[in-house]
Amino acid sequence: MKIFCSGIGGMGLSAYAAYRASQGHHVLGSDRADSDIMHDLIEQGIEVMLSQDGSHVPEDCDLFVYSEAIPEQSPERMRAAALHIPQQSYFQALGELSRIRPSDPGTSDGQARGMRVIAVAGTHGKSSTTVMAARVLIAAGLDPSVIVGTKAQELSGRNWRKGSSDLFLVEACEYRRSFHYLSPTSVLLTNADGDHFDFYRSPQEYQQAFVEFLAKLPPDGAVITHGTDPVCTAIIERSGRQMIDADTFPLPPLATPGLHMQQNAQLVLALAEQLGVASEQALSALLGYAGCWRRMEMKGQTTQGVTVIDDYGHHPTEIRATVAALREAYSGRRLVIAFQPHTHDRTRKLYDAFTKAFVGADVVIIPNIYDARPDRESGAVNVDTFVADLEKGSHVQAINGRSLAETGRMLTDEILHPKDVLLVLGAGDVTELAAHIVRSEHSLHH
């Protein structure tokens, strides 16, 4: 089958493309920007193009898969429609993929011969929990297939894995109800305190999406969650499915800091028990978990001894947990944070919580607000006002960095002291700062 992937450089669609190529399909695709992911796809024999004008969509294409970032009126989707090529969103395609046995290169025929889908869902912690689960299942010899929204050493530095068993472990994203295309047999529910309010109109609507997702489980399907989380337990009760309480399992030691990471690992211990993995084996596998790409990822040390950490966190709950973990792990050292809010809409709707999320940090610098979905923004946040409110709410020195370039200059030339800890935080292009600071040979003026 010839599959064209529009937006192939995205974390989800790149994993799908590589997985399908590993099954023997002819996969090609396009994106608007070059990246390490694009180079890795090329190394895997996938043809990628850096133009999306529609000319690269082949006439003999059997399936056109697009990322959520590609609108219906884009040249490539219009070209696919004109050629009458079947189109699927990434999650539609992922849902269909999960209904195919790993040895079957064809499309699903709708028969009940698909994979056992273990879906990791929730507002925060999905990627870390998925990678922890992959680590345990691989160590136990269960040989799962995996698709996750990050890169991990457990997956050979990639975001996917093709296993030979019928276990399919997948990170299930709730944005625009994407996870409704999956047919899970088990669900790990990390939390559900709310996000993506550019799409969901209220926390209640957000939670209802999870109720409907859990209702897709078979009648005897179980949801693993924290019994002490009232939102999660209420969602499960409304779904009519049974709950397995991960809080009855111990907080396992890990090679990465943070209570929130240990709580994610509790979910994995419960899953291991459900799949018949010995608790000693699961605990041993988790002990070596050292994090994954952009999840409290240690990027290195500068020549002046500044420890640089990169993290994808872009929600107040995630930020509080990460700050607390680093404060504990690096007690006695200054914690400087370069935080790039992800979308004006999210910043506005969670404004109060954001301004209070940085308690424990010493300095917070805001380079800009990442405009990921300009067509869905409902109003701009004034960065100067946000910085002033953050300073008051979190009792921290806060600075408007004006731009990524200026923020990098201010950090290296004015802000960072030797032995500081620098946390680069956000889901946008702020990640480039982390690599820049590690490489930087600027002298620190302190």
Judged by DSSP in three states, 2 sits in strand
What does the pLDDT read at residue 371? 79
Q: What is the mean pLDDT of residues 408-430?
A: 93
Token code pair at residue 156: 């050979």
Q: What is the mean pLDDT of residues 157-182?
A: 93
Q: What is the mean pLDDT of residues 96-111?
A: 57
Nearest to 117 by CA among 146, 90, 139: 146
- Dump pLDDT digits (tens) for 147-161: 998 888 899 889 999
* pLDDT surpassing 60 at residue 267: yes
Which ranges constitute the DSSP H helices of 292-427?
A: 316-329, 344-349, 351-355, 383-394, 404-410
Among 12-16, 48-52, 102-106, 336-340, the minimum mean pLDDT is found in: 102-106
* pLDDT surpassing 70 at residue 171: yes
Domains defined for the chain, CATH in brackets:
2-97 (3.40.50.720), 116-287 (3.40.1190.10), 297-439 (3.90.190.20)
Res. 372 pLDDT band, cuts 50 70 90: low
* pLDDT surpassing 70 at residue 444: no
> What is the chain's percent helix, strand, coil content, to nearest 5?
40, 20, 40
- pLDDT top residue among 436 and 88: 88
* pLDDT surpassing 50 at residue 111: no
Half-sphere exposure for 302 (CA within 13 Å, toward CB): 26
Question: Which DSSP letter does residue 53 get?
Answer: S
Assess contact for 184 and 216: CB atoms under 8 A: yes
Assess contact for 146 and 19: CB atoms under 8 A: no
Res. 110 pLDDT band, cuts 50 70 90: very low
**Distance of alpha carbon 206 from its chain centroid, rounded?**
18
- Dump pLDDT digits (tens) for 36-87: 899 999 999 999 999 999 999 999 999 999 998 899 999 999 999 999 999 9
What does the pLDDT read at residue 68? 86
Degrees, nearest 5: CA angle 379-384-387: 100
How many angstroms separate the CA atoms of 170 and 149, rounded? 9
* pLDDT surpassing 50 at residue 166: yes
Beta carbons within 8 Å of 236's beta carbon, 6+ residues apart: 189, 214, 223, 225, 242, 243
Assess contact for 152 and 131: CB atoms under 8 A: yes
Res. 436 pLDDT band, cuts 50 70 90: confident
* pLDDT surpassing 60 at residue 442: no
- Dump pLDDT digits (tens) for 241-259: 999 999 999 999 998 888 8
**Letter for the amino acid at 423?**
L
To which residue do tokens 């429609």 refer? Answer: 81
Rg of the chain on CA atoms, in Å: 22
What does the pLDDT read at residue 16? 96
Phi and psi angles of residue 34, each rounded to the nearest 5 degrees, phi first: -75, 155
* pLDDT surpassing 80 at residue 105: no
- Dump pLDDT digits (tens) for 179-224: 999 999 999 999 998 776 677 778 899 999 999 999 999 998 999 9
What does the pLDDT read at residue 101? 60
Per cent of the chain over pLDDT 70 is 93
Taking phi over 0 as left and psi of -120 to 50 as alpha, with beta for the rest, 306 belongs to: beta
Question: Which DSSP letter does residue 401 get?
Answer: -
Q: In what order do the strands lie in the sheet with 363-366?
A: 297-301, 307-311, 421-425, 335-339, 363-366, 397-400
What does the pLDDT read at residue 108? 41
* pLDDT surpassing 50 at residue 445: no
Res. 176 pLDDT band, cuts 50 70 90: confident
Element (H, E) at 400: strand 397-400
What does the pLDDT read at residue 109? 37
The full DSSP string for 264-316 is HHHHHHHHHHHTT--HHHHHHHHHT---BTTBSEEEEE-TT--EEEEE---SH
* pLDDT surpassing 70 at residue 266: yes
Torsion of CA 359, 381, 67, 131, to 10 degrees: 0
What does the pLDDT read at residue 203? 87
* pLDDT surpassing 90 at residue 317: no
What does the pLDDT read at residue 112? 40
